[in-house]
Every structure is written in structure tokens, then in C-alpha cells.
Structure 1
């Protein structure tokens, strides 16, 4: 039975236990404002070297400044999590907050859990009265296609600071007002 709840400081190390296993046969890149799909082969096993530790530091800071962290547990195991930073900023005429983290363990993918967590993040954004969530998505086809299916749009001009942090990512936004 899955249990959803707010994540605490003690839960942050558990984020590294989310199973990111994925076979990635294609990725996207941006070219002149358009998505370009290209074939590749990545057999993702676990977290890239140092990324889980780096994320833990960033998410701890996010929690300390009032960020929203939500997790889904299967018994004691964290199988999915979503994080929205509390820093609001204006970009492309919209008041936004960054979706800092959204991961679903390999065994829980395809169940609708990712869409549910994104919907909860959007609801949180509406509650704090922002107009959009800013998403810096890994360039894998599965990830980008997931966000596009869930109402996200490409940013024609990424936020300079967020782009500098993740220049290979696909930068999107999810409007929160219809």
C-alpha cells in the first residue's frame, strides 16, 4: 500500500534510494527553438557520480527556506518524490516557482504516479499563487515527452541562471491558470 506525505529533513537521504534505472534510446536537444530528437544509448543505473549528494544539499536548503517536498512510500521505501522551491521569480511575463525534483522509481513507473505528483505540484503552485512551474528536464525522450503530455510548454528563452546550471536540459514551463 502506497502512503503519501510531506517529506522532512530526515527523509532527504532517502531520495538517493529512488531507483533511476532506465534504458534511454533517444534524447532531445534544442535547435533554433525547436526540439530535435536524436538516437542515443544510455543504460542508466542508479545516480550519476555525486549527483545524489549534490541534490541532497540543494533539497535540504530548499526545505530550510520553506520549499514543498512530497513523497510516496511503499512501506519504508521511498518510491517517488516531487519538490517545488519556494523562491518565486518572474520570467517571460509569468510569476513562477521551480519544480526542482520529480523522480519515480523504476518499479513504480507507468502507474500514473508521476502525473499525480506533477498535478500535486501544480496544485501547490496555485495555492501559493504563482502562474507557472519552471521545469528543467533531463533531455531523455521519456522525460520530455512526459512533461509535454502533462501540459508543459517549451520555453523559448530559458531563465539565464537556471539554464547555466543545466545547459543540456530541456527548459519548460507548466502554466497553472487555464
Structure 2
């Protein structure tokens, strides 16, 4: 039996993102995101119920400001007291785990997909998904971009506007594009 594109995506293999099953899953996420982004804050609470039920995990005290966008939702796990400020985007074609107490500033973007380097493959929708793991008590400044396959260690700080292309050790601070380590004070 041939693996579905969703199965290939989940296994970290090259897959075709232009697939009817994946389209339906993205449509489901769009509906939940739309509901979250259009509810009044009093009705929405920490996150729209449709969004919470879509996620793999939503820890106690987690909070997502509107607007928010995700690709699928079912690959996202938020720990306790995680805070996502307005405008965050998580393109979760692979698992995205954000540890307890972590805070993401406005417009932080997390991308799990890498498109094929060959033009014809890219045009055909071929991509690969790699997980992003953000540890506990991490602070990610506004407009930072976290690329596919990155792990950010506990207590790390990512400066505003940084583009994270390599893993960040626990307790480290990174800034810039591409993000580079700052010396410890």
C-alpha cells in the first residue's frame, strides 16, 4: 500500500502539499483560525474552543491573542502559561512544541516546511516538514522567524527580528539575521 501525502508529511519524508486530504485539513484549520480571530475577546477567552480542540495540546493558562494563523493546528502543542502575542503564525506541517512559560512576541513566525530546491519539484508542491521544539521559559521577540528543524533550549532568548537558522542552546541569547549567539554577560 502506498503511503498518503499526510503519512509522508508526518514521517518527515518528501511529500506533495498540493493534495486533496491536506487541502481539507488546512480548510479545517482556516475555519478554526477564522473563528478565533473574529470572536470578541470576552467570548474567545484564552483561545477559541474550535482552535483549542484542533491543537495536539493546550496547556492550562495558555493564551493566544488575535489575529493568529496556523497551517494545520493538529501538530501544535502549547505548554502551561504559553503566551502568543498578536499576529503569530505557525505553519505546522510538522510537530511544533512550545514549553511551559514561553512567550512569543507579536508577529513571530514558525515555519516547519522546507520547499524542494529543484524548481520543477518546488512547482509541483514537493516539500519536507521538520519539527520545531521550543523549550520552557523561552522568550522570542517580535517578528522573529524560526525555521524548520530548530530546537530552542530552556530559558533562551531570541531577539526581535532574529531569523533562527540553527539550534539555540539553553540559556543563550541570539540576535540578528541569521541569528547569532551573544556572549554571556
Q: TM-score, structure 1 length as denominator?
A: 0.26
Instruction: Give 1 or 2: higher strand fraction.
Output: 1
Instruction: Give 1 or 2: higher helix fraction.
Output: 1
Could you say which structure has the larger radius of gyration? 2
* Higher RCO by CA contacts (8 Å cutoff, separation 6 or greater): 1
